Amino acid sequence: MIRLIFWIAIVFAVLWLWRKIKPTPRQPAQRGAEQALLMVRCAHCGVHLPQDRALSNGQHWYCTQAHLNEGPAPRER
């Protein structure tokens, strides 16, 4: 029984040392709030797209010039 406990302690000690010595992987850089794109919804078709690619007309956003010309679609929901 003492030998079993001894070998278990040896295994745990080796694992602990291996984790201490092993270099930790670098965490990927998270995108900050300043890099996140603001998404808007097309008032005609409902597709979401980045605000810098959207066309605006007042408070409404559109994905294409054709949808801007047609205006907001009536909502049946």
- Helix/strand/coil (H/E/C) assignment for every residue in the chain: CHHHHHHHHHHHHHHHHHHHHCCCCCCCCCCCCCCCCCEEEECCCCCEEEHHHCEEECCEEECCHHHHHHCCCCCCC
State how many domains the chain has: 1
9: in domain: no
- Residues of the chain short of pLDDT 70, as ranges, are 29-34, 75-77
- Whole-number pLDDT of residue 77: 46
Segment 30-49, tens digit of pLDDT: 665 557 789 999 999 999 99
Closest CA to 41 of 70, 77, 72, 76: 72
71: in domain: yes
Range of the domain at 57: 38-77
Q: Alpha-carbon distance 51 to 36, whole Å?
A: 11
18: in domain: no
Verdict on whether the full-model pTM lies above 0.85:
no
60: in domain: yes
10: in domain: no
